[in-house]
């Protein structure tokens, strides 16, 4: 009889001997055979992206630090204030220090990274990229990617916003981005493509240099854009630093919560608070904790076990005023 205790017991007895043989031949006879801190002889340079204390970078760091703690890896954390030129100088220095592996932000783009990736490959340094892909680099010199697929994530945000808010042809959207950074801006470009596909009018706002580390720098930009486009229905921000600052932007422009829809990316504590208070209506979560943890894990596996690198799309769906409470606790701990 299915589910009968007698039958279950006999099946388990039949498995005991084969299972014991399997464990003995694989060397995993008990928990004591598991390896602790198995990556302790591995040295990794890890690019956090932002400055220390940055809302997004902090979550990336927390993921990397947890992985280093779990695995025992020796990790140098590199902060770049989201400046692509700074990242390139730091990558040059990281390669010169001859670590076993480097987890590199892809923001500088393929052309800037390519010659340094060649140096790393020649030196036998394993590379993995995070947050922004460097597809041309990985195609030529190897390496993998952990992060959201930029254009696809941006397009998905636009499609969800159209579905959720009922946008129509002719509706005006303000989309902020670093439009000169071709690879980095693919996400915001995906949102533009989704809006323009239904006939919406898109006004591109060029985020000020350095504003990712100091989002208050964008206050004049947002205020001027709202004044110049009084019928704008939505503003799309390029990251949690900006989206979490939505209340400040709106108040500076003389707007109340809900007068203009504020949407974008990430689920930092500031974004969660803005969702709770009605300043933000939609965000696409890219799970930066994974962007910290998984590159360390992958580099350790490559160096210690000779395994191939991992590619992971960390896009984690949407956070809205209806479901933000499910991640609020984790966001407060710097994990989402």
Distance CA(106)–CA(211), nearest Å, equals: 18
CA dist 80 and 84 (Å) reads 8
Write out the E strands in the chain.
43-47, 74-78, 101-105, 126-130, 144-146, 172-177, 201-206, 234-236, 261-265, 282-284, 318-319
Question: What are the tokens at 303?
Answer: 């160096």
Q: Provide long-range contacts, Cβ within 8 A and 24+ apart, for 214-222.
A: 215/241, 215/242, 215/244, 215/245, 215/248, 216/245, 216/248, 218/176, 218/242, 218/245, 218/249, 219/248, 219/249, 219/252, 221/176, 222/174, 222/176, 222/249, 222/252, 222/253
**Helix and strand counts by DSSP (H, E) for the chain:** 13, 11
CA distance 56 to 75: 19
Tell which residue, 64, 112, 111, has the closest CA to residue 88.
112
- 132 closest CA partner among 115, 149, 117, 120: 149
Asked whether 260 and 234 are in contact (CB, 8 A), the reply is yes
- Can you tell me whether residue 243 is helix, strand or coil? helix
pTM of the model: 0.86
Interatomic CA distance for residues 80 and 256, integer angstroms: 35
Q: What is the pLDDT along the chain (336 residues), one digit of tens a residue?
A: 444 443 333 333 344 444 444 444 444 455 557 899 999 999 999 999 999 988 899 999 999 999 999 999 999 999 999 999 999 999 999 999 999 999 999 999 999 999 999 999 999 999 999 999 999 999 999 999 999 999 999 999 999 999 999 999 999 999 999 998 888 899 999 999 999 999 999 999 999 988 988 999 999 999 999 999 999 999 999 999 999 999 999 999 999 999 999 999 999 999 999 999 999 999 999 999 999 999 999 999 999 999 999 999 999 799 999 999 999 999 989 998
Residue 32 confidence (pLDDT):
59
SS3 of residue 183 by DSSP: coil
What's the pLDDT tens digit per position in 172-212?
A: 999 999 998 888 899 999 999 999 999 999 999 999 988 98
CB 105 within 8 A of CB 288: no
pLDDT digits (tens, 9 = 90+) for 299-312: 999 999 999 999 99
| Chain region(s) in the chain for CATH 3.40.50.2300 | 43-148+287-314, 150-284
Q: List the end-to-end C-alpha distance of the chain, in Å, as a whole number.
A: 47
Return the axis-axis angle of helices 186-197 and 150-165, rounded to nearest 10°. Answer: 40
Q: Could you tell me the fold of the domain covering 43-148+287-314? A: Rossmann fold (3.40.50)
Superfamily of the domain at 150-284:
Response regulator (3.40.50.2300)
The size of the chain, in residues, is 336
Task: Give SS3 for 108.
Answer: coil
């Amino acid at each position: 009889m299915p589910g009968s205790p007698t039958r279950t017991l006999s099946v388990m007895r039949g498995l005991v001997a084969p299972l014991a043989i399997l464990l003995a031949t694989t060397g995993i006879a008990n928990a004591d055979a598991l390896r602790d801190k198995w990556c302790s002889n591995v040295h990794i340079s890890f690019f956090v992206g932002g400055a220390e204390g940055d809302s997004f970078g902090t979550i990336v760091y927390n993921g990397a630090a947890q992985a280093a703690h779990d695995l025992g890896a020796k990790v140098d954390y590199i902060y770049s204030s989201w400046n692509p030129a700074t990242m390139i100088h730091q990558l040059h220095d990281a390669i010169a220090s001859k670590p076993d592996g480097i987890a590199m932000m892809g923001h500088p783009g393929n052309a800037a990274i390519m010659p340094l990736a060649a140096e790393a490959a020649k030196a036998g340094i394993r590379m993995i990229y995070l947050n922004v892909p460097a597809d041309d680099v990985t195609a030529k010199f190897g390496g993998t990617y952990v992060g959201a697929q930029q254009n696809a994530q941006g397009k998905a945000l636009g499609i969800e916003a159209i579905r959720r808010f009922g946008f129509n042809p002719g509706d005006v959207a303000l989309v902020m981005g670093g439009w000169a950074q071709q690879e980095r801006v693919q996400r915001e470009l995906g949102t533009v493509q989704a809006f323009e596909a239904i006939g919406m009018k898109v006004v591109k706002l060029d985020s000020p240099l350095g504003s990712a580390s100091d989002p208050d720098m964008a206050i004049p930009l947002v205020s001027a854009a709202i004044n110049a486009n009084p019928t704008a229905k939505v503003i799309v921000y390029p990251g949690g630093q900006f989206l979490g600052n939505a209340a400040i932007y709106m108040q500076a422009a003389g707007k109340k919560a809900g007068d203009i829809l504020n949407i974008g990316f990430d689920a930092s504590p500031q974004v969660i608070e803005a969702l709770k208070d009605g300043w933000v209506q939609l965000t696409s979560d890219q799970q930066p904790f994974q962007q910290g943890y998984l590159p360390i894990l992958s580099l350790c596996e490559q160096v210690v076990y000779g395994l191939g690198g991992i590619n992971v799309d960390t896009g984690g769906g949407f956070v809205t005023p209806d479901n933000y409470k499910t991640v609020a606790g984790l966001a407060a701990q710097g994990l989402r």
